[in-house]
Every structure is written in C-alpha cells, then in structure tokens.
Amino acid sequence: MTRKRVVITGLSALSPLGGNLDDTWRNLLAGKSGIAPVTLFDTAEFATHIAGEVKNFVPEAYDIPAKQARRMDRFVQFAVAGAKMLVEHSGYVIDADSAENTAVMLGVGLGGLKTIEDFHLRLMEAGPRKISPFMIPMLISNMAPGQVSIFTGAKGPNVVATSACASGLHAIGYAYSEILLGRATAAITGGVEATVTPMGISGFTALKALCTEDIAPEKASRPFDKHRNGFVMGEGAGLLLLESLDSARARGATVYAEIIGFGSAGDAWHMTAPEDSGDGMARAMRNAVKDAGLQADDIDHINAHGTSTQLNDLAETRAIKTVFGKRAYSIPITANKSQVGHLLGAAGGIESVFSVLSLYHGVIPGTMNYETPDAECDLDYTPGALKQIQPQHVLCNSFGFGGTNACIVYKRFD
C-alpha cells in the first residue's frame, strides 16, 4: 500500500538545560551543562551527589491547577506541562473534529518512584489507613498519557511504552506506525521521566551504572571518552507532535522534519549489559534504515545513545562500525547526554527533539567532555563544539536494559 508521510509539526522540551524548548536548545548549542548538585533531596549518604534536574519547576507556571498537580507524580506533571507547550508550539487544534483522531503515546521508563517512596514511608509510620486513594493513579506509568489526554482533550489511542531507556523512542515509533496505518491523524508523543529520587539514585548506584567519581558536575558525563565511568541521572520531557502530511498541509502547519523509518530489535543476551558486539543495536539500526527505504550511505548524522558507561559506548561504537563500515569514521555523531545526563525513559524523546532541530536549523550539537580518546571508541563524536552542516538524514538511537533497542530515521523536510 502507499505509505502516508508522517511529519513533525511541533516540539517541546522540559530539561536540565531549560524549562522550555528555546532555552533548552540555546543552552545545548552553547555547550552548557544542566548537570549540577542534587537539590531534590539530601545526598549526604549517597555515593553520587549530582544529577540533571529540571530546575525551579513549578507546575502552576504551566497552567496546571495546584489541586490537580498535588494528585500527580512529578513525571506526570512534566508530561502535562510538555504537552501544553507542544500543542501551543504546533498550533494544532484538538476539537470535536480532531479529538478522536489524535493519539497520545508516551514513553516512561519507571513511573512514579517518588510517590512509591512517599507512601511507603507513610505506610510504615502511620499504617494502611493513611494511604491516599490517589496513590495508585499517581504512580502508574500510563497516567502520563492519561493525564495528557484529559488536559488536551485528545481521544485517540492512549498508550504508554515502557522499555527501559528505549521507552521514548519506542513510543515515537509506535505513534509513527499508527499514523502510517491510518489509525490516527496526529499524535502527541515522546518521553517523560522523573527518577532523581533516593530510590532511583541508590538503585542505579547499586548497579554500578552511575558516575560516582569526585569530579566537577559538568565534567561527569563524558560519552565515549576513555575515562568515562558511568552515566549521570537526568529528568524531564521531550515531546513531538506527529501529523500526517495531508493534515499538516491542510492547516498550513510549519513542518520541522519528517519521520521515514523505525526499527527495533532485541539482544536476547543479558538483563543489563548490551551484547558485546552490539549485534542487537546494529540490527535495530539496519531495520530503521531499511524501513526508511534508504541505504546506510544515506545517513549523514547519528544522535547516539551514548550513555557514558564503558559497556554501552563500546557496544554502540562497534554496532555503528558494523552497519556503516569504513564510512562510520566520517559520520558526525553527537551524544546529548554529555549535557543533560541520561533521562532514562525520556532520553529518546529529548534526543529526538534535538535530532529534529538539527535537521531544521542545519547544525549538529557537539559532544562535551570527549577529551581523552579511547582506542576502541574512535569515531567522530563531534567533540566540544557544534558543526554547521546541513544533514539530510539523522539516525537517532536508544537502547535499554533487557536488551531492547530502538532507532528512528528523521529526514530534513523538503
């Protein structure tokens, strides 16, 4: 069948670099870091004291009534705030004519950890009668798309994707597929996460996944660098408004980029470690390129998963070499986690926003803190400074625990 064209007509960002899209993008291009000492709780007894927090976030500033905000975990507040900004940025109107054809499909990796922590403490201290009836609706991950639907009026498919750190990109891929198949005309999609909590930090520390080195916060996340020693936790939301090209043209919308391919694959290997050669990662990349109707040589920029962990960065580098051969050395790669940290389920969302803006503005953000080359991580990671080029096709990668891999090909719109 003839495939519908799916375009991006709106973007929003709530990140460690800023409370909106413009501030986030400007600070990313300026090489600033959103990583700083944790303020959300006392980290005196913890092995790491830094994270990429959304600073000074007040739900009411995003027109979320205080009473309703109190009945949302922080990740749901992020989702609603991001969706409000997204709808405004896109100019898309959700009304009686469009509501049933507008999907909400978001990625969430862990859900309401803070809510679980708070109510568990209340249970232990005061007993089960003190547990609020809002506890479960606050913490379940699908309340992110659920509340977005309530606030925006979108009545189409309403789904959460939970696939660890690939959640956001899987959600975008599934939303893209819904529009391709004609099951929706538009979709609010992307990823949200808020796990900078005592349980979140201690859990990833126990896995030896976080950077615990005594180092300046802005230097701690260093993807692909020889001395990388763990990721830095981040939080926030990165959302996109996907729309069929026919719908976008009919309303005269600004088109920021086009999605032309989605691929996923599983490692069948290990609970937390990627397969050594990056085989699952490579298959996901190939699947996305094939779905786009392209050849590997058509990809001219890669937005890497690039977590700043020894195993992930090495496996991703090997996977890129497997897919692109000798040309892998000439493709500019960027790792946004060097500036915002790892947003877990929101990573694919915020990094997709950056991928789309790279296509729209013709600029590739640099990878910060790549200072000491690694003999095996030896590709062009765009160290230290942005590149003013005009990429036509961006491959965006997200990989997660359980061996889950997702990739999307974004195309410059013309």
Domains 6-250 and 261-411 share a fold: yes
Whole-angstrom Cα Rg for the chain: 20
pLDDT of residue 386: 87
pLDDT of residue 408: 98
pLDDT of residue 352: 98
pLDDT in tens, 307-360: 999 999 999 999 999 999 999 999 999 999 999 999 999 999 999 999 999 999
Half-sphere exposure of 324 (CA within 13 A, CB side): 25
Q: Lowest-pLDDT range, 152-166, 168-182, 378-392?
A: 378-392
Q: Domain extents for the chain?
A: 6-250, 261-411
199-208 mean pLDDT: 97
Query: Per-residue pLDDT for 385 more than 90?
Result: no
Q: What is the C-alpha to C-alpha distance for residues 397 and 394, in angstroms, rounded to an integer? A: 10
Does residue 156 contact residue 165 with C-beta atoms inside 8 Å? no
Taking the alpha carbons at both ends of the chain, their separation in whole angstroms is: 23
What CATH superfamily classification does 6-250 receive?
Answer: Thiolase/Chalcone synthase (3.40.47.10)
Whole-prediction pTM: 0.97
Active site residues: 165, 305, 342
pLDDT band, residue 1 (cuts 50/70/90): low
225-251 mean pLDDT: 98
Distances (CA, A) of 187 to 83, 153, 241, 396: 11, 12, 6, 19
Query: Per-residue pLDDT for 270 more than 90?
Result: yes
Distances (CA, A) of 375 to 16, 225, 314, 342: 31, 10, 10, 24
Q: What is the mean pLDDT of the chain?
A: 97
Q: What is the C-alpha to C-alpha distance for residues 188 and 365, in angstroms, rounded to an integer? A: 25
CATH numeric code, 261-411: 3.40.47.10
Query: Per-residue pLDDT for 2 more than 80?
Result: no
237-266 mean pLDDT: 98
The percent of residues above 70 in pLDDT, for the chain, comes to 100
The percent of residues above 90 in pLDDT, for the chain, comes to 97
pLDDT in tens, 54-80: 999 999 999 999 999 999 999 999 999
pLDDT in tens, 27-45: 999 999 999 999 999 999 9
pLDDT in tens, 133-164: 999 999 999 999 999 999 999 999 999 999 99
370-374 mean pLDDT: 96
